Amino acid sequence: MTQPPKGARRSYGVKAAPYGFLLPAAVLFALFFALPIGYAVWLSFHKVEIKGLGLGKGARSEVWAGLENYASALTDSEFLASALRVLGYGAIVVPVMLGLALLFALLLDSERVRGRSFARLAIFLPYAVPGVIAAVLWGFLYLPDVSPFHYLLEKAGLPQPDLMDGGPLYLAMSNIAVWGGTGFNMIVIYTALRALPAEVYEAAKLDGCSELQIALRIKIPMVVPSLVLTFFFSIIATLQVFNEPMTLKPLTNGIPSTWSPLMKVYNDAFTGGNIHAASATAVVLALATFALSFALLRISNRRTTQGASR
Amino acid sequence: MTGLASPTLRKAPPAPGTTPGVPQGPPRPRRTALLPTAALVLGALYCLLPVAWVVVAATKADDELFSTFTFLPGSGFADNLGDLTSYRDGIYWTWMGNSVLYAGLGALLSTVVSAFAGYALAVYRFRGRELFFNVMLTGVLMPPVILAIPQYLLMAEADLTDSHASVLLPLVLSPYGVYLGRIYAEAAIPMELVEAGRVDGAGEWRIFSRIAVPMLAPGLVTIFLFQFVAIWNNFLLPFIMLGDDEKFPMTVGLFTLLKQGASQPALYTLVITGALLAVVPLIALFLVIQRFWSLDLLSGAVKS
């Protein structure tokens, strides 16, 4: 108290400190998020104009293209086909994966189920397996000469479908995503379940509720927020699927190089060399992700406020 | 052990005079629910199936891979390992080393950045706090490809493509890591302790490094692991940035090997052995670490 300068310096330190701590994150965000996003948006509104024969310096210049790239992106049949494929794929992956994640989380939370710690670890294990490697493993398991499914079908005298073409391809691709993603989502839901107060169940049990009734009437409604969260992350991951189809592609002729929207973007940018069109497609994809995310957030907010005012 | 011990034992009615609902003594053994247990075990087996397959398949010689029954072990594990190690002067182990470098160093830097930012967001009240946090969170939603194309072009401007830095730097900032950092810091660091440190004349840095970091340790381990797995599993960024296969991480290396396998099926055994060796370290890491660290932390759970 006899040293006002020191006190003043300290309060200045307290004021400046948070900005100092945030500096590395802010710089990295600016360099590797904000700048690239800005650049992608800029690219999406420009195109290359070639003057004359396109020879010599200054013959190629980037000019304003307006919404031209967006118009061609949205009418590109390859892009639309890839978007449809991913919708079909997502319609399988998201409900199956989250359904299994919820089921396993509820089973892990039930005292009468045995082998819970083993199962928890085993189901979580695929999280540690890179998507590329998961696709390699399943890809081989889908090959007719290697696959145990084909072996069993052959023994049973049943027809053996090609798992990596046509309709079965959707199931094969979805299976990889379900296998890889169920564990993480299970942990998220299980964590929420364990955070619920035990008295609620005790009371329900005394009232004669069965475990199943408790799960359906109490546990599931109370973990809705984490279900929304997992739903959210699953949708984003589905829209961005790239590694798995890219890895399966060399094993089959059934996967075109523009199977998913991201593959289409990659193909345009790095094989076709049209970075402007690719940027426009990427921006469309980002906007679709945002639109879906905000719609989901609104729905879930309405849900939680309803729950709170109940 | 307790699973079969008391199949007929039912929950005893509460003794007279005791309050129902209040647990007394050790938990009573309950009947095992057969169907749910079977469902859970089935799920576990499903998740283990491809891992079990790769363990078996890595033992098969070239000619056994496509001819013997899937789950019949072969005789060629040592040969496969030797072939993989000698393939192009051991480039597989270069890939492994690169993956360890990218994931290890990247996760370390990421943890530091997340700890700083999370601590700042949790402990200080300052202008722009929520704005910063919200802007950071939109980064979670960003499809990696919208970032990857311009990142590649910008890296090319800076003459950094095809370098270790081009794969390492963009992954240092993890929005989810910052989010976890904030949640853990809010739960683990009592403000009174920070105030007490200030009263004792400790500077802000000293309070962070001596008081906050030890309390944040379990959270920081989580952020490190999360980011380690994310970088180890990453494919798109190195796939786009790198041309020189001496700098490839495991994922891109195995992908190129698989692609060549379409014309040289002999490479398939290398891919399979390589996949096994790539999966083992992470599984081992998780098995070891789960003894003293809870998976729940990954989803942002904190003890209240």
d(CA A239, CA A285): 8
Give CA separation, A18 vs B115, B127, B150, B179, B192, in Å.
12, 10, 30, 16, 18
- Residue B40 to residue A15, Cβ atoms within 8 A: no
Check residue A264 and give its pLDDT: 93
The answer to whether B40 contacts A107, with C-beta atoms less than 8 Å apart, is yes
What was the pLDDT predicted at A207?
Answer: 85
**How close B89 gets to chain A, by Cα (Å)?**
23
Half-sphere exposure (CA, 13 Å, Cβ side) for A9?
7
Taking an 8 Å cut-off on Cβ atoms, the answer to whether A250 and B139 are in contact is no
Contacts of B233 in chain A (CB under 8 A): 129-132
Residue pLDDT, tens place only, A137-155: 999 999 887 777 877 788 8
Q: Which of A221, A215, A199, A244 has its CA nearest to residue A93?
A: A244
Token duo for residue B63: 């000619």
Which H, E and C letters describe chain B, residue by residue? CCCCCCCCCCCCCCCCCCCCCCCCCCCCCCCCCHHHHHHHHHHHHHHHHHHHHHHHHCCCCHHHHCCCCCCCCCCCHHHHHHHHHHHHHCHHHHHHHHHHHHHHHHHHHHHHHHHHHHHHHHHCCCCCHHHHHHHHHHHHHCCHHHHHHHHHHHHHHCCCCCCHHHHHHHHCCCHHHHHHHHHHHHHHCCHHHHHHHHHCCCCHHHHHHHHHHHHHHHHHHHHHHHHHHHHHHCCHHHHHHCCCHHHCCHHHHHHHHHHHHCCCCCHHHHHHHHHHHHHHHHHHHHHHHCCCCCHHHHHCCCCC
Q: What's the pLDDT score for residue B15?
A: 43
- CA-CA distance, A130 to A243, in Å (whole number)? 9
Q: Is A262 on the interface with B (CB under 8 A)?
A: yes
**CA neighbor of B204 nearest in space, from B131, B126, B136:** B126
Q: Where are the domains of chain A?
A: 4-64, 76-309
B289 touches chain A (CB under 8 A): no
A-proximal residues of B, 23-52, CB under 8 Å: 27, 30-33, 36-37, 39-41, 43-51
The pLDDT of residue B267: 86
pLDDT exceeding 90 applies to what percent of chain A? Answer: 46
Domain A76-309 CATH assignment equals 1.10.3720.10: yes
pLDDT on residue B30: 63
- Measure the CA–CA gap between A134 and A243, rounded to whole angstroms: 10
List the single residue in B with minimal CA-CA distance to A143. B66
Chain A residue whose CA is closest to B229:
A128
Residues 168-227 of A with CB under 8 A from B: 179, 182-184, 187-188, 190-192, 194-195, 199, 202-203, 206, 211, 226
Structure tokens at A283: 């921006």
Q: First and final CA of chain A: distance in angstroms?
A: 52
Give yes or no for B149 touching A (CB within 8 A).
Answer: yes
pLDDT for the residue B11? 41
CB pairs A-B closer than 8 Å: 295
Cα–Cα distance for residue pair B73/A34, rounded to 1 Å: 52
User: What does the pLDDT average to over A7-27?
Assistant: 80
Cα(A189)–Cα(A50) distance, integer angstroms: 55
Shortest distance, CA A167 to any CA of chain B (angstroms): 22
Phi/psi for A256 (5° steps) reads -70, 160
For B84, the token pair is 């993989």
Q: Is A144 exposed, middle or buried (0-12, 13-18, 19+ CB in 10 A)?
A: middle
Contact B88, B154 (CB under 8 A): no
Chain B residues within 8 A of A130 when measuring between CB atoms: 232-235, 250-251, 278
- In chain B, whose CA is at the least distance from the CA of A271? B240
A53-57, A114-118, A136-140, A158-162: least confident range = A53-57
Beta-bridged to residue B142, according to DSSP, are none
Q: What's the CA gap between B124 and B114, in Å, rounded? A: 15
In percent, how much of chain A has pLDDT > 70?
91
Which of A14, A107, A240 shows the shortest C-beta gap to B204?
A14
Asked if residue A1 has pLDDT above 50, the reply is: no
Ranges under pLDDT 50 in chain B: 1-25, 304
Q: Are B145 and A242 within 8 A, CB to CB? A: yes
Q: Is A131 on the interface with B (CB under 8 A)?
A: yes
Give the span between the Cα atoms of B172 and B98, in whole angstroms: 16
Cβ(A222)–Cβ(A240) below 8 Å: no
Q: pLDDT per residue over B253-299, tens digit each?
A: 999 999 988 788 788 889 999 999 998 888 888 788 776 666 677 77
Average pLDDT, chain A: 86
pLDDT at A77 (0 to 100): 94
Tokens coding A249:
């592609």
- The per-residue pLDDT for B14 is 43
**Alpha-carbon distance B157 to A252, whole Å?**
37
- Determine the pLDDT at residue A180: 95
pLDDT in tens, A232-257: 889 888 888 999 999 999 888 889 99
Task: Give the count of alpha carbons within 13 A of A53, CB side only.
Answer: 2
Mark yes or no for CB contact A236/B141 under 8 Å.
Answer: yes
Enumerate the residues of chain B whose CB falls inside 8 A of the CB of residue A187. Answer: 295-296, 298-299
- B-facing residues of A in 51-80 (CB < 8 A) are none
**Residue numbers in B near A151 (CB within 8 A):** 69-70
What pLDDT does A166 receive?
82
The verdict on B296 touching A (C-beta cutoff 8 Å) is yes
pLDDT at A11 over 80: no
Among A261, A239, A241, A259, CA closest to A249: A259
Contacts A293 to B, Cβ<8 Å = 141
CA distance A172 to A160: 14
Name the minimum distance, in Å, from the CA of A149 to any CA of chain B: 10
Domains (range + CATH), chain B: 86-293 (1.10.3720.10)
Q: Do A21 and B120 touch (CB under 8 A)?
A: yes
pLDDT, residue A53, reads 66
**What does the alpha-carbon distance between residue B260 and residue A28 come to, in Å, rounded to a whole number?**
37
Average pLDDT (A43-53) is 84
| CA–CA separation, B194 and B196 (whole Å) | 5
Q: Which residues of B touch A285 (CB under 8 A)?
A: 143, 145-146
Cβ-defined contact of B287 to A121 (cutoff 8 Å): yes
Please state the pTM of the whole predicted model.
0.86
Query: Looking at residues A112-116, what average pLDDT do you find?
Result: 88
